[in-house]
Amino acid sequence: MNPTTIDWTAATVFIFFFLLVTVLGFTAARWKAGDLGLLHEWGLGGRRFGTVITWFLIGGDFYTAYTVIAVPALVYSVGAYGFFALPYTIIVYPLFFAVMPRIWKICHENNYLTAADFVQGHYASKSLALAVAITGILATMPYVALQLIGIQVVIAGLGFGGVAFPGFHQLTSYFPWLDPILRDLPLILAFLILAFYTYTSGLRAPAMIAFVKDIMIYIVVIAAVAIIPLYLDGYGAVFRAANEALQAKGGSAGLTLKPAQMLPFASLAFGSALAAFMYPHTVTGVLSASSADTVRKNAIFLPIYTVLLGLIALLGYMAIAAGIRLNKPTEVVPALFIRIFPAWFVGFSFAAIAIGALVPAAVMSIGAANLFTRNIWKAFIDPGLNTARESAIAKIVSLAVKLGALIFIVFLPTQYAIDLQLLGGVWILQTFPAIVFGSLRTSLGARGLLAGWIVGMTVGTWMAETMQLKPVFPVRFGGQTLTIYIGLIALGANIVISLISSAVLSACKSRIR
């Protein structure tokens, strides 16, 4: 199979499964039927998802199409350092178990639909809630764009990426801006479909599609880790080939972590775990659960996905052993599947990856829309907004979020989306004190937390810019240089300022009294 020409066997299988989930997306509106004119029905599925549905939905949020593409690509490029995603997804669940059931309970009792609703209700501060909402939206936008990259990569692998559209050459010579649109036409069509069934069915659509997506991904990964090593003389040969290739690269690449990588690896894993359940799409998945007990059960069973992630990461080593040589590491997984598997299974695998983008992209756009509608539009522009208009605005904003991500990918280099997503992780971590400390009923005040948020956002953005958007920063301490995840450093500054500011403001308030 040649990725520069269309293989119609693979393309037919791909299109079949894509159309299948499209039908599911539109019919999901009738599933667990409710009044989709109400925001909690459209944006949270009526808060009626049980343990199994929530497991698939939150799993679809955490383990996205870009994960399937990016984690093996990072392992392919640098080796062991790319496995930081494994401890991160192990650390996250005890934290999830400790915090999220309590947040669900408070939100359910007070009819909160977003994390910013929770913050505003607990601290009685529209400003702090606005900060949380803006941060969530900013952090989510590039994340949606990354799902597009996952689809873009597999569509190009099928041969559609370089398709010439007869008769349009003359047109694009007069209108150059049409060239990227025609080049990415299959991607645009895929996300138009996503946009419309999300608009129609709300959170029910990704919840239903998540079943199909996860079953397909499990089939693909199990087949890959069982069959590909047989073509490469076993796992021993895979690791030997990967070790030799990574040693030849030199630098930080290697089959095992180097001593200097231990601290950045650990801090990146821990910081990512703290950030993971602050994202609007994760909060949306949690708040759609039917009970706090459902959330607890998911914290127990979601680590099953971590096993899957470890197997996915191994594809990076398999690609090295298979002799895959590419300038763009994100194309590694499609290239490996094209080399090893028959065309029909390539189509099935690529469909699984593309469908794996639809679930998180839909939930992300819904989460961002909920934030904008509840905590920006209703809070500051139209306080008298009724329930019907609230839902209508959220639907329109969800379309705008997806359209913005699509324009970003079609007209700008994909590296921008990757860089902004790394920055988004630093930003979303700065909402941790307001949300988590609020759930623990600490004595921190709204103005102190807002001051901490401003400092954390400023410090994190400055450090990321200084490091040219690399995720770690060297800190001199006790005569040593410690390389630490920027998000954690910024969070530390955030917490210190929040504590000091809250204490000072509380003391001043007491003195005035």
- CA pair distance 451, 440, nearest whole angstrom: 20
- CA pair distance 334, 398, nearest whole angstrom: 30
pLDDT in tens, 362-377: 899 999 999 999 999 9
- CA-closest candidate to residue 496, choices 455, 437, 441: 455
**pLDDT number for residue 155:** 84
**pLDDT number for residue 60:** 80
Higher pLDDT, 377 or 212: 377
CB-based burial label for 341 (10 Å; 0-12, 13-18, 19+): buried
pLDDT in tens, 454-480: 999 999 999 999 988 888 999 987 778
Higher pLDDT, 196 or 377: 377
Exposure on the CB side of residue 132, measured as CA atoms within 13 A: 32
Question: Which range, of 67-81, 335-349, 450-464, averages the lowest pLDDT?
Answer: 67-81
Question: Which range, of 248-252, 410-414, 445-449, 498-502, averages the lowest pLDDT?
Answer: 410-414
pLDDT of residue 186 exceeding 80, the answer is no
- Cα angle 252, 254, 258 (rounded to 5 degrees) comes to 60
pLDDT of residue 1 exceeding 50, the answer is no
Q: CA dist 8 to 2, 79, 343, Å?
A: 11, 35, 9
In this prediction the pTM is 0.90
Q: Average pLDDT, whole number, for the chain?
A: 87
**pLDDT number for residue 347:** 93
Q: What is the dihedral of CA 282, 287, 290, 295, to 10 degrees?
A: 50
Mean per-residue pLDDT, 409-414: 70
**pLDDT number for residue 168:** 53
* Contacts with 130 (C-beta within 8 Å, 6 or more apart), sequence order: 116, 375, 376, 379, 380
Structure tokens at 12: 């037919």
Mean per-residue pLDDT, 68-84: 88
**pLDDT number for residue 512:** 67
- Residue-range domain boundaries for the chain: 8-426
pLDDT of residue 415 exceeding 90, the answer is no
Q: Where are the alpha helices (DSSP H) in 322-342?
A: 332-340
- CA-closest candidate to residue 488, choices 438, 435, 425, 445: 425
pLDDT in tens, 127-150: 999 999 999 999 998 888 888 888
- CA-closest candidate to residue 259, choices 80, 485, 473: 80
CB-based burial label for 180 (10 Å; 0-12, 13-18, 19+): middle
β-pairing, 480-485 with 472-477?
A: antiparallel
Mean per-residue pLDDT, 482-486: 93
* Contacts with 460 (C-beta within 8 Å, 6 or more apart), sequence order: 423, 426, 427, 429, 430, 486, 487, 489, 490
Structure tokens at 457: 């956002």
* Contacts with 233 (C-beta within 8 Å, 6 or more apart), sequence order: none
Rg of the chain on CA atoms, in Å: 23
**pLDDT number for residue 349:** 93
Question: Which range, of 145-149, 246-250, 363-367, 502-506, averages the lowest pLDDT?
Answer: 145-149
Q: Which amino acid is it at 56?
A: F
In CATH terms, the superfamily for domain 8-426 is Sodium/glucose cotransporter (1.20.1730.10)
pLDDT of residue 290 exceeding 60, the answer is yes
Higher pLDDT, 183 or 125: 125
**Within a 10 A sphere around the Cβ of 102, how many other Cβ atoms?**
15
**pLDDT number for residue 164:** 46
pLDDT band at residue 173 under the 50/70/90 scheme: low
Highest-pLDDT range among 50-64, 143-157, 308-322:
308-322
pLDDT in tens, 421-448: 778 899 999 999 999 998 887 778 999 9
385 neighbors 378 (Cβ within 8 angstroms)? yes
**pLDDT number for residue 488:** 95
